[in-house]
Amino acid sequence: MRLTTKGRFAVTAMIDVALHGTDGPVTLAAVSERQRISLSYLEQLFGKLRRSGLVDSVRGPGGGYLLARTAAELSVAEIIVAVDEPIDATQCGGRENCLDDRRCMTHDLWAGLNNHIFSFLSGVSLAHLVAQQQAVAAKAMETRKAPAGTKPCKVPVTAAA
Amino acid sequence: MRLTTKGRFAVTAMIDVALHGTDGPVTLAAVSERQRISLSYLEQLFGKLRRSGLVDSVRGPGGGYLLARTAAELSVAEIIVAVDEPIDATQCGGRENCLDDRRCMTHDLWAGLNNHIFSFLSGVSLAHLVAQQQAVAAKAMETRKAPAGTKPCKVPVTAAA
DNA sequence: GTTTAGTTGACTAAATTATTCGGGTATACA
DNA sequence: TGTATACCCGAATAATTTAGTCAACTAAAC
């Protein structure tokens, strides 16, 4: 389990698809413009997401990508695993020879920690993130009368379009 | 919160110090040999760990590094944060201008997820990892009579020196 | 049959990770 | 006082990953 910006891009894009895919496929061009992620990079990421069975693709005009399951059934862990390289995890696992004690210690140690993180992220669904975000947006709408400019980056009231 | 092999190296090295630092400082040369991590890389990592107050250093002959606190008081989260770059986290937070709705959505979204992961890893102490590993080692010792060679990478019985 | 949009692969640039090198400084010890 | 040990520091480098670009191709709608 690795956590980099690559996985973030993937999750962000998936949330975009979840939000905008309610009535038909979402084109990567649209995601690219909204999320400011390069189109070709998205193509790479969605190629992996598709091969992992997380999204379905529709070709031709009016086509695009759709979630293969509901947002509630798609976990953050799945998305990150799909786009991140298999990760050699522990240098000794398999091909590499096991040099000495400590090496193996590291192996088991990280395998255990990986499991923890993985199971944690498996419990976080796309729907959960969306709901959380919408709650923040709703809260921001109520406190809109607060002095403008206090915080440059704030969730706009039109977020959940 | 980022999770890469860099953080793993740091945690692995810290565990090595925890295990071998019971009676005096541990030299990076020893850690380097045991964990097969390049000495200079360790120096870089421990420079950060020291500046973050996670380890204390002793110079001169017989010197080395010691945990600044007990293993139970050192969390995995602290170690990873210490060695990983500050991480720009969200492209819009501060310097960057907030282009549109979605940009900010990503911001809050990841900030939330970061908090989750961070608090989770904050609950995992160095002592916890060591204990977990020793439990595995103890178990391996009992089942030592199993046919040799079934699993090339196994925790040796002499691990908890 | 033209346009839309996914599909694929190769190629490049930038960033990060990992390593190497070459010097320093503080301290124990003889 | 000298010398060896081991931390300390910064620069340079190689390898890998991330991010972006380009070009050609395929499937489907109209």
Interface probe with B: pick from A19, A85, A108, most Cβ of B within 10 Å? A108
Residues with Cβ within 8 Å of residue B28, at least 6 apart in sequence = B39, B42, B43, B46, B64, B65
Contact A98 B152 (CB under 8 A): yes
Q: Is the pLDDT of residue B160 over 90?
A: no
Say if residues B111 and B88 touch (Cβ distance below 8 Å): no
Contact A101 B159 (CB under 8 A): yes
Residues in A touching B15 (Cβ below 8 Å): 105, 109
- A33 pLDDT tier (thresholds 50, 70, 90): very high
- CA end-to-end span of chain A, whole Å? 33
The better pLDDT of the pair B93, A113 is held by A113
Place of tokens 């979605």: B102
Min mean pLDDT across A55-69, B5-19, B23-37, B100-114 is at B100-114
State the Cα–Cα distance between residues B98 and B128, nearest whole angstrom. 41
Q: Is the pLDDT of residue A25 over 90?
A: yes
Min mean pLDDT across A82-86, B107-111, B120-124 is at B107-111
The better pLDDT of the pair B160, A115 is held by A115
pLDDT (mean) for B125-144:
75
For residue B5, give how far its alpha carbon lies from the nearest alpha carbon of chain A (Å). Answer: 8
Q: Is the pLDDT of residue A153 over 70?
A: no
Q: Which residue in B has a C-alpha nearest to residue A14's C-alpha?
A: B106
Residue A44 is inside which H or E element, if any? helix A39-51
Residues in A touching B105 (Cβ below 8 Å): 15, 133, 137, 155, 159
pTM: 0.81
What's the pLDDT tens digit per position in A57-99?
999 999 999 999 999 999 999 999 999 876 555 555 443 444 5
Q: What are the b/e assignments for A10-44, b being 16+ CB within 10 Å? A: bbbbbbbbbbbbeeebbbbeebbebbebeeeebee
Q: Is the pLDDT of residue B85 over 60?
A: yes
**What whole-number percentage of chain A has pLDDT above 70?**
71
Nucleotide nearest to A61 (CA to C1'): C4
Q: Which nucleotides of D are covered by protein (CB under 7 A)?
A: 4-11, 17-23, 26-30
Q: Which residue in B has a C-alpha nearest to residue A85's C-alpha?
A: B4
